Structure 1
Amino acid sequence: MGPGLEKDKTTPKGGSKCSTLSIFFLSLNIFCLIVPVRGFALRYCRISDNTAICINNKLRQVPLDIPSTVNIFDLSVNKIVKIQASDFKNLTVLKQLDLNRNNISQIDTGAFSTLISLKKLNLNNNKLRRLGENVFDGLSRLVELRLKRNGIEEVAATSFKSMTSLTFLDISNNKLHSITKVHLILQHLPHLRELYIYDTNLPTFQSWQLTNSSLALRYLDVSLNPLKLFQITADVFPNLTWFNIGGSRGKQNMIWDVRNKTFLSRLSSLDISGLRMTPGDMKTLLETVNSSLTSLKMYAMKYKIHTLIKISCTIPTMSTLKLQSNGLKSIPSDMFASCVNVTKLDLAGNKLVNIDENAFTFMRSLRILNLNRNKLTSVPAAIQNRPTLDELDLSKNNISELRRHDFANQTLLRKLSLYNNIIPVLPQDVFRDLNRLQTLKLQTSQITKLNGAFKKYLPNLKRLHLNGNKLSGIKPGEFKGLRSLENLSLHDNEIKTLVKESFTGLTNLTEILLQSNLLTKEELKTGAFNALINLRRLDLSSNHIIYKDNSLLPHPPFSKLSHLEELNVPSQRRRARARLPQNFLEGLGNLLLFRIRTSQLVELHTGMFKHTPRLQTLDVSSNDLRYLDSKLFAPLQNLSALYMSRASLQSLDFLIDAKLTKLEFLQVRKNQYSVVRHEVIKALPALLYLDLQGNAFTCDCSNIWFIPWLKNDTQTQVYDAYNFLCNYPPVMRGKKLLDFDFNSFCTVDVDFICFVTTTCTILCSMVATFTYHFMRWQLVYAYYLFLAWLYDTKNKNMQAENQYDAFISYNVHDEPWVIGDLLPKLENEQGWKLCLHHRDFEPGKPIIDNITDAIYGSRKTICVISRRYLESEWCSREIQAASFRLFDEQKDVLILVFLEEIPGYLMSPYYRMRKLLKRQSYLSWPRAGEHSELFWEKLRQALKTGQDLDEDRFHLSMLERP
């Protein structure tokens, strides 16, 4: 049949099996047991870089088939209720365990005792109402524990006893209600550095309840608690540097009682966002940390922010002031008059419309200014002539115009963000003073014209974001002033015009993103990329670059990009049928990754990758690559990852001769093959991960080796193998592949076969002898009477005229002869109407139905026989169907054409073919020699025969017989 559709023969469940086939499958089974092919499958998880990933699989218990070598085990987003003592018994090298977002309400004593190497444990978002005695036994090396949102109400005295190495603990969003329970935890954690107990319903925080158990703490978060009193009467936090006490849940003011300023003498970062306190207590709080505070966060304050700013800026060490979400609409000239030492000011998320031009005059040390998410309509005059600024964020405002003096004298500015504004045109010299700028973000600002803004200035710019705008083209020399640029983002624009000089000057550019534009293949002809001699990554996906044939290009578009390592080429329009020119990748000798997903490709030329010998990752998913030649992959000896999902693959046999000895990752999801031959896996000795998800498998002896290989826990992981479904035979459709009992169907009891064979032989001999002796004349008469009746019936029920004169059955390797010799002779010269799979099969219809319709819808079936044909299981199915018709209708509807001489002993394994040769005429192309016209004449006469049996015999007598 079709080229390359070489699937193994299928046998319906419960169907008859001849002893020859049974012995063949038994031999195959024994052979597979001794071949060094290895694999394993996990029911619910996948393994990647020693990480077991079991996320969102609706698991109700910990899977027990995880390899003991994993370092990270992710079980988040499942429905596990209980952790049992045996769940992790073999995972002695596990370092990180994630049980976030389950329903865990119980942990058995000793459940973690075997996890002697564990360092991080995440139990967030579960239902652990109570932490029992010694619940964390064995976790002596644990350094990080997360218990957030569990509803914890009780903590046993010895719960944390064994975790002497713990440095990080988050037990927030629980119901502790008392600092005493915190003390039960801290008393066993001598090395704890970070403690997060926010939103745990603590009514008070008093140091005497801790009894010196928290001396090592550096980070403490007690925010979002209904604290009425915060009292420290002893030096329990001598090393505390970061403290968050903001966002009280209560409606009353908190009392601050820290009378000795030395108790928090090392505190450098303080968060009091949303804290309710009297102005007097707030002043006292800030005076307590007056000697060391460098960063103060005051989001959504309940008091007049102006007063708090004046108080906080009197702290001589203050350098960072964060004032987000305070509802500020304007900034007067004196608001920051006392903030002379502040270097970072965060005013994002307010409602700023007006900023006085002298608002930042006194902030002589200001380096970082964040005005993100406000309502500014223009760049404030207050930031002009501020030579100390290093970073400026004006994104997500309503700025509709940039003026040439907006960034005057900003000679030290390194990072400028202007994205999410409305700036259709850039003034030509708006960036003229930004000589040290390294990052400029202008994305999603509705820019239509660059107006030469980058032709002269920004000599040190390294990253430029222009994506998400409305640029329609890049004019010559538009970026020639950006001699230091390394990353250029132009994706999601409307670019449809590139010229040769579009990227002139960008000799240091290493990455350019041009996906989701309107580029065509004509733009690639311009040589626009030739100037990017140091480019490492180029993304052209989701454009309109379509090639209709694979002929050589006179000027390959990337021939000058010798340093390119990653190339993404376009996804095409849905109805396109594309091919890539065979020298499309010429010049890319250092390419490591090539992605051409969703490009409507119907073919890849065998010489496509001869220019990319270093390629490591290839992604050709979501194309229509039904038939691939193994020679295509010959140059890719360094390939380690291959993605071919949704590529309409009929078989994986092309991998057998591809010699991909370094391939470790193979993803071939949602294709059309149903059998995986063991030779495929043998050809991939380095394979570690195999993804066959979404394919429908044949559940019969064709996959006899595959099922035990999937279950054998050794080298290759087969993702989601326990959910593989059967599609054939019909009685197995919808059932699990791994549930198929191949031992019952595909093994042979030799003694039983001998017994049955002997018994049947004896019985048949006795019946034949008895019948011949007593009823031979009656049988002869009945036989001839039946033949007459059958002949008469068939002539009365003649079928309608056939759709085709002949159906051509051939193997993919013989396609050149069929297309180049057979088709022109029979169709063009002799006028016969032929049926070929690639031209006349109905798309979307099952293959076996197409084959049957083609054979019974044609007067004849021509089988083009070669050694490859005999090895093809799909070809075997075609000749089987044709022979059934031959024996059923008793008409000479089958013509055999041999392309090469095949000795009879080589055909002994092909029982049906040998049987046909004994009773069927055939033509031999090699014997035709120089008399090819005689060959074609004999073939024409064979096709000319009609329904009359005598006429058939007359013409067939002219053919060669073995």
Structure 2
Amino acid sequence: MAPVKACPKPCRIMGDHLDLLLRVVLVASPVFGIPSCSSDGRIALFRFCNLTQVPQVLNTTERLLLSFNYIRTVTASSFPFLEQLQLLELGSQYTPLTIDKEAFRNLPNLRILDLGDSQINFLHPDAFQGLFHLFELRLFFCGLSDAILKDGYFRNLKSLTRLDLSKNQIRSLYLHPSFGELNSLESIDFSSNQIFLVCEHELRPLHGKTLSFLSLAANSLYSRVSVDWGKCMNPFRNMVLETLDVSGNGWTVDITGNFSNAISGSQAFSLTLAYHIMGATFGFHNMKDPDQSTFAGLARCSVRLLDLSHGFIFSLNSRVFERLRDLKVLNLAYNKINKIADEAFDGLDNLQVLNLSYNLIGELYNLNFYGLPKIANIDLQKNHIGIIQDQTFKFLEKLQTLDLRDNALTTIYFIPSIPNIFLGGNKLATLPKINLTANFIHLSENRLENLDILYFLLEVPHLQILILNQNRLSSCNGGQTPSENPSLEQLFLGENMLQLAWETELCWDVFEGLSHLQVLYLNNNYLNFLPPGIFSHLTALRGLSLNSNRLTVLSHNDLPANLEILDISRNQLLAPDPNFFVSLSILDITHNKFICECELSAFINWLNHTNVTVAGPPADIYCVYPDSFSGVSLFSLSTEDCDEEAILKSLKFSLFIGCTVTLTLFLMASLIVAKFRGFCFICYKTAQKLVFKDHPQGPDTYKYDAYMCFSSKDFEWVQNALLKHLDTQYSDQNRFNLCFEERDFVPGENHIANIQDAIWNSRKTVCLVSRHFLRDGWCLEAFSYAQGRCLSDLNSALIMVVVGSLSPYQLMKHQSIRGFVQNQQYLRWPEDLQDIGWFLHKLSQQILKKEKEKKKDSNIPLQTVATIS
């Protein structure tokens, strides 16, 4: 058979040229698809171009990007008249920046001006005049002082909506009266400055305005100075704030309480108090946890979202939030909460989302969530919850989602009937058999072992998605009856051990009732075979993942008829049949172990002409055998020489037609002989004895004629079938001096030594390969030693006899046997009793056969593997 050959270099590197071209394009145009330091008429990209002044660009430019340069000065003459320019990026200059009077007057339609992350040494008070359409102004991290607010820099910016002044050196918020004229202003960011105090009279120009976002975060606000709240009063009086961020200011319970009382009556729909220092934390008592009075001042603020995450709250005291009647979202994540007092959430009549993740909660009790009639989502992941009382969630009638992932639950006495249940990352080994209704169940990373649990979960009404990844599903008791589940659409069973369950030939019907299943994951399950008909009932299946298993072959009817997406990457497929994949839309077959011989030519041709989308880079679909082609992509191989095989097949067909009449007559004779072959063989032996006489054997240096290697569990059968007919000690009429373990091995001697002595002191080694033989480690070890002797002596001293209905697939699973059956002849014990005499004669000839010098015209072995040269 002609081998598959690699394409010549020009053919193989065509894809490399395309890849190289694509990389050049990407490097040359890292943003927007145009070369750096150039313009396409609409976008001018001049980042990292070592510029010291603004370059000249076309008047059609819409975006001018000049960051990461050395521009020092911007004046009114720096820009030509650019009527269409909407975005100007001047931030991140490597040198201090000076911005002169009306520096941007030639940009009348500018919408976004970015000067952020540039050290501004001088900014003229009239620098931004003329920018009547400016929508967003970025001045973060520019080294600006209080003057930027007090001296009217932003007057006449009637369209200004977003102003970013974060990370500067602003110390007070005395705003110029012109801020009152900025009627479009919605978002102001003062975070990460040095604003220690904000009082009512400072923000007076903003009174009466509605802001979507106001940030005073990370300023040490009110925490570094003593505050006379009677004089300071409410800084946000007559203001409506959709989001107020005062996080990261180091607030204690007292500061938070005073601030809450001060802003009482101002509307702040979303209040962020994250990164605080409220709470006693674990093992300390020098700081207070919030109590009833801490947030009482917020009662008239219409707060709907309160973020108290990233703090040190240890105990949620009783009625701590009772005045927050409008609250809908409460975030308490990343605290040190260990105790939830009874009625802690009392008063939160409208709360819908409660986040208690990343805390130190160990137990949940029946009254922990009392007072939450409208709660829909409770997040308790990443705690240390080990036990939950059975009534804890029972009366939460509106509950939709419960997240208990990554806790320490070993068992649960209940599962609430809610749409979405997250129980992954616990220590659950079993589930209670209760009436359950859910749309989504997440149980990954637990310790579930028995497939009874899967049968139970597949009966849950209305279930649409079930996730059981990373468990220990490996056993099956059998006897379960699969139920019809008309709602399940996605089933995740990856990273389990289903091979152990299915190899017992049980639970092959687990998917029978899933006629509406669309996506199934069976990756990483150690599968070396697919049970017959396992997917036959999955008529709606569209996506199947079998990656990272041990599959070597796919059989007909293994895959569902309507399958569209198949991931069978990282298996051990040697030469897949392309007919299995023609109906797919997407196929991932990367990182398999392809043997690049002519048997694979049909698959290679299919890969190069199919309309199926083959996922992954071509380099990940490669050969592993022979060594000269190891790592070579299948897309780089040519199958031209394999066409010679097609010519030979055509010639053989012609010869077949020409010899039809002769073969018909021969067949008739053969049928007669085959029917009475046992009688014919007896006649042949009788005639042979009359005509020829046996010649005595010459002197032999071997102690035994043959070493009979078989499993001890097969001894009785071997004795009746072979030893009584061949061994001289069983009958004087037998001609062979045989060696076998039960009789000839030296008791007490090392077993390996006994095996080696038997192999090297016998002319031949006869391995009787049965099911017991394949499970016996000593037998497989003896087989390997016998092969070693064959290689050492360059002879065929090993005779392999296959006993029973062992398939080639079962033989090929063992490496040493696979190498033998691919290159050498082997015998099979006859199924018909009349063939036993012939078989014993054949075996005797093999034992008596002496090795001769191999000729060049040696016979082709029974089973061969073509090598690629």
TM-score, normalized by length of structure 2? 0.70
The answer to whether the Cα contact below 8 Å between 1:199 and 1:223 also exists between their aligned partners in 2 is yes
Deviation at 1:175, TM superposition (A): 4.5
Change (3 A) 1:838 1:455: farther
Which of 182, 185, 189 is residue 84 of structure 2 equivalent to? 189
Change (3 A) 1:750 1:318: closer
Question: 1:387-536 counterparts in 2 under 5 A?
Answer: 387=299, 388-454=302-368, 456-500=370-414, 502-503=415-416, 506=417, 509-521=418-430, 524-527=431-434, 530-531=435-436, 533=437, 535-536=438-439
Which of 834, 843, 862 is residue 803 of structure 2 equivalent to? 862
1:836 is aligned to 2:771:
yes
1:204 is aligned to 2:98:
yes
| Counterpart position of 2:449 | 546
Deviation at 1:681, TM superposition (A): 1.7
Change (3 A) 1:359 1:260: closer
Question: 1:566-605 counterparts in 2 under 5 A?
Answer: 566-572=465-471, 577-579=474-476, 586-602=483-499, 603-604=501-502, 605=507
Residue 512 of structure 2: SS of its match in structure 1?
coil
Q: Which deviations, in whole Å up to 9, do the C-alpha atoms of 1:786-823 show, x marking residues without a partner?
A: x999986695685644244899xxxxxxxxxxxxxx99
| Counterpart position of 2:863 | none
If asked which structure has higher relative contact order (CA below 8 Å, sep 6+), I would say: 1
Change (3 A) 1:187 1:586: farther
Deviation at 1:636, TM superposition (A): 1.6
1:610 is aligned to 2:512:
yes
Which of 612, 617, 626 is residue 720 of structure 1 equivalent to? 617
The answer to whether the Cα contact below 8 Å between 1:841 and 1:850 also exists between their aligned partners in 2 is no
The answer to whether the Cα contact below 8 Å between 2:260 and 2:297 also exists between their aligned partners in 1 is no
Deviation at 1:409, TM superposition (A): 2.0
Change (3 A) 1:433 1:404: same
1:299 is aligned to 2:206:
no
Deviation at 1:385, TM superposition (A): 5.3
Change (3 A) 1:209 1:297: closer
Which of 40, 51, 72 is residue 136 of structure 1 equivalent to? 40
Q: Which deviations, in whole Å up to 9, do the C-alpha atoms of 1:486-514 show, x marking residues without a partner?
A: 111100001112124x42xx4xx321110
| Counterpart position of 1:537 | 440
Which of 573, 578, 589 is residue 678 of structure 1 equivalent to? 578
Question: 1:140-151 counterparts in 2 under 5 A?
Answer: none
The answer to whether the Cα contact below 8 Å between 1:805 and 1:834 also exists between their aligned partners in 2 is no
The answer to whether the Cα contact below 8 Å between 1:454 and 1:479 also exists between their aligned partners in 2 is no
Change (3 A) 1:750 1:834: closer
Change (3 A) 1:802 1:153: farther
AA partner of residue 197 (structure 2): H
Q: Hey, what's the Cα distance between the residues in 2 that align with 1:159 and 1:707?
A: 53
AA partner of residue 802 (structure 1): C
Q: Hey, what's the Cα distance between the residues in 1 that align with 2:517 and 2:149?
A: 64
Deviation at 1:525, TM superposition (A): 3.6
Q: Hey, what's the Cα distance between the residues in 2 that align with 1:243 and 1:136?
A: 25
Q: Which deviations, in whole Å up to 9, do the C-alpha atoms of 1:409-445 show, x marking residues without a partner?
A: 2111111111111221211211110010011000111
Report the aligned-residue RMSD: 5.0
| Counterpart position of 1:662 | 562
The answer to whether the Cα contact below 8 Å between 1:42 and 1:722 also exists between their aligned partners in 2 is no
Deviation at 1:243, TM superposition (A): 2.4
Q: Hey, what's the Cα distance between the residues in 2 that align with 1:793 and 1:407?
A: 100
Q: Which deviations, in whole Å up to 9, do the C-alpha atoms of 1:822-866 show, x marking residues without a partner?
A: 99x999xxx9985339952879x99x989989998776223749x
Deviation at 1:728, TM superposition (A): 1.7
AA partner of residue 203 (structure 2): S
TM-score, normalized by length of structure 1? 0.64
1:350 is aligned to 2:249:
yes
Q: Which deviations, in whole Å up to 9, do the C-alpha atoms of 1:424-472 show, x marking residues without a partner?
A: 1211211110010011000111111222235642111111100111111
1:375 is aligned to 2:267:
no
Report percent identity of matched pairs.
17
Q: Hey, what's the Cα distance between the residues in 1 that align with 2:304 and 2:321?
A: 12
Q: Hey, what's the Cα distance between the residues in 2 that align with 1:545 and 1:155?
A: 66
Deviation at 1:726, TM superposition (A): 1.6
The answer to whether the Cα contact below 8 Å between 1:612 and 1:636 also exists between their aligned partners in 2 is yes
Q: Hey, what's the Cα distance between the residues in 1 that align with 2:643 and 2:342?
A: 78
The answer to whether the Cα contact below 8 Å between 1:12 and 1:729 also exists between their aligned partners in 2 is no
The answer to whether the Cα contact below 8 Å between 2:618 and 2:633 also exists between their aligned partners in 1 is no
Change (3 A) 1:859 1:409: same
Change (3 A) 1:229 1:882: closer
Q: Hey, what's the Cα distance between the residues in 1 that align with 2:81 and 2:484?
A: 63
Deviation at 1:747, TM superposition (A): 2.8
| Counterpart position of 2:137 | 243
Change (3 A) 1:598 1:336: farther
| Counterpart position of 2:829 | 895
AA partner of residue 409 (structure 2): I
Deviation at 1:179, TM superposition (A): 4.2
Q: Hey, what's the Cα distance between the residues in 1 that align with 2:633 and 2:411?
A: 53
Residue 355 of structure 1: SS of its match in structure 2?
helix
1:563 is aligned to 2:438:
no
Change (3 A) 1:880 1:419: closer
The answer to whether the Cα contact below 8 Å between 1:806 and 1:860 also exists between their aligned partners in 2 is no
Which of 211, 215, 237 is residue 109 of structure 2 equivalent to? 215
Deviation at 1:678, TM superposition (A): 1.8
Deviation at 1:595, TM superposition (A): 0.5
Change (3 A) 1:537 1:584: farther
The answer to whether the Cα contact below 8 Å between 2:489 and 2:519 also exists between their aligned partners in 1 is yes
| Counterpart position of 2:599 | 702
Deviation at 1:224, TM superposition (A): 1.8
The answer to whether the Cα contact below 8 Å between 1:389 and 1:412 also exists between their aligned partners in 2 is yes
The answer to whether the Cα contact below 8 Å between 2:103 and 2:128 also exists between their aligned partners in 1 is no
Q: Hey, what's the Cα distance between the residues in 1 that align with 2:204 and 2:838?
A: 103
Q: Hey, what's the Cα distance between the residues in 2 that align with 1:537 and 1:178?
A: 60
Residue 61 of structure 1: SS of its match in structure 2?
helix
